[in-house]
Amino acid sequence: MSKHTDMAEERMEKSIDSLKYNFGRVRTGRANPHILDSISVDYYGQPTPITQLAGVKVPEASMLLVEPWDKSALNNIEKAIRQSDLGITPSNDGRTIRLPFPQPTEERRRELVRDCKQLAEEARISVRNARKDANRSVDRDEELSEDMQNAEKKRIQKLTDKYVGKVDELLKQKTAEVMEI
């Protein structure tokens, strides 16, 4: 592989990683600890991610359990979850916070699938942009003959097809997970 193909593959891989992260944040009826990644808590005047203040466990498929290491942070964690856009009501027993994940309605599941399709399309666009930039880089590389440029562009296209296929497979898996009752 050449520097052009390596550069394209690196960017395409980042697109896949980003898609996986975004899919992890889509709320289904199944508890997913990554849903708390973006929530920060006021901890001694510093905004701190929940995951740095507490252990997050999944005791059952539709429940998250947040166990703060410093019990004095319990109320602040609960407050941050209530103020977030998760739409989940936490229950605090004085030691832990339980987050029940209700099963989404059929209509809500369809909305989530639509959201997932949008995220997948953004990832496909990102992969195609990596291809476009790599092809431009090949065109500007004066060390390559025309045949070598064409061969390089074919490798880049194969790479693009592979990563678009990965996006499609991830979307298929996430859609099945969202539609599961």
pLDDT in tens, 2-49: 888 999 999 999 999 999 988 887 767 677 787 888 888 888 888 988
Cα–Cα distance, 87 to 27 (Å, whole number): 10
- Domains in the chain (CATH in brackets) are 3-25+105-179 (1.10.132.20), 33-100 (3.30.1360.40)
CA distances 141 to 12, 68, 150, 175, Å, are 21, 55, 12, 41
Distance of CA 80 to the CA centre of its chain: 21
SS3 of 153, please? helix
Is a pLDDT exceeding 70 seen at residue 181?
no
* Kind plus residue range of the DSSP H or E element containing 67: strand 63-68
The two structure tokens encoding residue 41: 């808590």
Q: Binning pLDDT at 50, 70 and 90, where does residue 1 land? A: low
Specify whether the CB–CB gap between 4 and 151 falls below 8 A.
Answer: no
Question: CA-CA distance, 26 to 22, in Å (whole number)?
Answer: 7
State what percent of residues in the chain have pLDDT above 70. Answer: 97
Place of tokens 């990563």: 163
79 phi, psi to nearest 5 deg: -60, -45
What is the overall mean pLDDT for the chain? Answer: 89
Beta bridge partners of 48: 41
Indicate the SS3 state at residue 91. Answer: strand
Over residues 100-113, the pLDDT tens digits come to: 877 778 888 898 89
* Model confidence at 163: pLDDT above 80: yes
Asked if the model's pLDDT at residue 142 lies above 90, the reply is: no
